[in-house]
A and B are shown apart, each in its own frame.
Chain A
Amino acid sequence: MANNLNIEVSPLARVEGHGDLIINVKDKKIEKLMFRIPESPRFFEAMLVGRKHDEPSHITSRICGICSVAHTCASIKATEKAMGIKPSQQTIKLRKLIYHHENVQSNVLHVYFLAAPDFFGVGSVIPLIETHPEVVNIALRVKKMANDMVRIIGGRAVHPIRTVAGGFTKLPTEEEMIKMKEMLEACYPDLEKSLEILRTLKIPEFERKTEYISISDTSDYALYDGNIKSTDGWEIDDQNYLDKINEKVVQHSTAKHCWASRDAFMVGALARFNNNHDKLTDNAKKYTEELGLVAPCYNTFMNNIAQFVEIVHSVDDSIRLIDEILEDGLDEGKAMADIKPGAGRGVGVVEAPRGLLIHDYTYNDKGRVEKANMIIPTGMNYANIEKDMHALVSTILDKSEDEIRLACEMLIRAYDPCISCSTHFLKVKLINK
């Protein structure tokens, strides 16, 4: 029906931010398709200049409330690298543990609160409280478990206090470690039930092959640390990210656009899965089979499924980490490494829930930040969202305006774009010319 079509979506709800989508169709051809982020820029790269080495992690955590642990970790890794600070193994294990649970809470929020309403045909999670109480209750329980883990290790759920360059200002107690393990074990029935529910959802069929980039490690399903790896066959040390990842300012958006081997790439759970699926726990692998997630997967909508599989993996792997930490015994002496503030450059690369996150700091000889560069996952996904949208819209032009609009919103939501990093999201206005 849509020979000519004008779609403006601004701001899109149920994504963590604001953004606009503009589609103009003329004679059944897409004339213009633009996904833009109109939200005010934050200028974090400027804010950091001149700050002391112990401040960037607290400042950059405020880039994103939903992935504040990721920004904190990328920041402290960059500072540690720049100043040659060596955190203890205990610190790294605790960081991996807190890291898992930011990813779990974020993935739960996205899969159950933000994406699920689309699959149940409602505007938000609120109607689901009446119609699908079990979905809402599972989501709240798992989310609380994950947030409590972050609270125990980091001191609070949003913007952790204890995770700092060098280690932890305060360690969890042994009792708290045991309690966390019990909390983790208690959530398996909810994961099983979620599996049953997710199996019934109809994931839209859509494929567009692109480049998938994530960090990768020889032993871990990498979230906290690793090389940068691409499905296009390259792998580089994280310090050398500039060898592959390019960034430019585009006029229609405050978020910079990125590219690597080709004109666009995808980061996030699906990219991590495509690169590292063999490092998932056996239990998580079982879930991938049950849900039909097979690597390499080129269906962006399956990102939601990959997010759920990561929840399972994180719960499994957290129990392993807690067992190891308890076996070694918590040691106050290993809580903080020695820090000698000084000059140097360091890059901290992690997997935020929404994908690759890069912090790059240069310190002067007074130990103050001289230059900072940060690349956020949604910035990296940006160009790919436009390409996906282009491919999707051209296949569904025969659908009604409402259907096209919903499909576009769902596709964008599948990316879980945490655009508060730079932006916020879409209200839909469709005008038929």
Chain B
Amino acid sequence: MRFVFKTSYDADISLFKHRAQAVWYALLLLLVLATPLYFVAIGDAYLLGEITGMLILAIAGMALMLLTGHTGLPSLGHATFMAFGCYLNINLLGAGLPWLIAFPLSGLIAGALGTMIALPVLRLHGVYLALATLAMSILTSDFVVIAEPWTGGIAGAAVPDINIFGMEINRYSTPYKFYYLVLAVAILIVWFYRNLLRTPTGRSFTAIRDSEISARAMGINLTRTKATSFFLSATTAGLAGALFGHSAGYVTNETFDLVMSITLLLMIVIGGLGFIHGAFFGAIVVGIIPVAIANGRTFLSTTFDVNINVPGLESALFAFILVCFILFEPMGLYGRWLKIRTYFELFPFYRKDMFKRQKSYLKTDRVQ
């Protein structure tokens, strides 16, 4: 077991709890930086594309995590903000803006639009907010069709390549560059996110999640703080959407549908609500399942000559996993990891109720 002796206030403020933790994260950074080397060695970048896809999902997951996991506002409409980001990016690039300006700008405009939509919706609580955002998600594909001049409607729109100071980045022709670009965005957002959580803004988010009434009694303006959370969340989702567009190469009205919104929510629940790690763990699970199913099918058909072609197998599996998590591990994968770690750290003094939560995250709407 590790004892951390704090000798200055910095120990509570710095990003890492102790040096060993910093070393572990440095090793993780080295690992993700070196990952492409493996794919260069085997000369096949297909799986690297999948990993890049996971990173993009993780960015979208962090967007939803901030809103749902840390502010306690559920949203079933985050694909909408991704769509905003994606189409804004396409149009801004089409208008001749350089990517380095178009990309952040598309996120910020998506954030602003998201906040405008959110302001009336934010008066709602819990399941009603979820329903309102669900409606938004259902409307998205229709709006994409209606806004044909900008979105290409049903026919879809091609996403231009990324160009940074003359360096062309395309998902297929330069997969390694695209991976590093997405990784850089992801790391930057993680850093912003961590900073947020250790400063007053992030604390006011979690305060609202845990008790609205006492957040108000501490001087936190509920509407403004929720709107801020929504803005940051929608902005991040917009950035993820823009990257998703670059990754897909071609987007139609069916790209950012309800399934995408639900997948995002699923992801953060499986990963662990209220932890940045949760967004990444969830993205890994969501990213691995389709690959695993495809490989499993190939294996069964080539080895045993069994052909399984059940439509909707993927969704059913997702749903099954989600139900299992809600029943057996509401804290998600990261929560499970925390429990295992604490078990060994405190061995043999671990108690089952050490991580018991008193209130569920949605119960923010209680009054005195």
A and B pair up: no
Residues on B facing A (Cβ under 8 Å): none
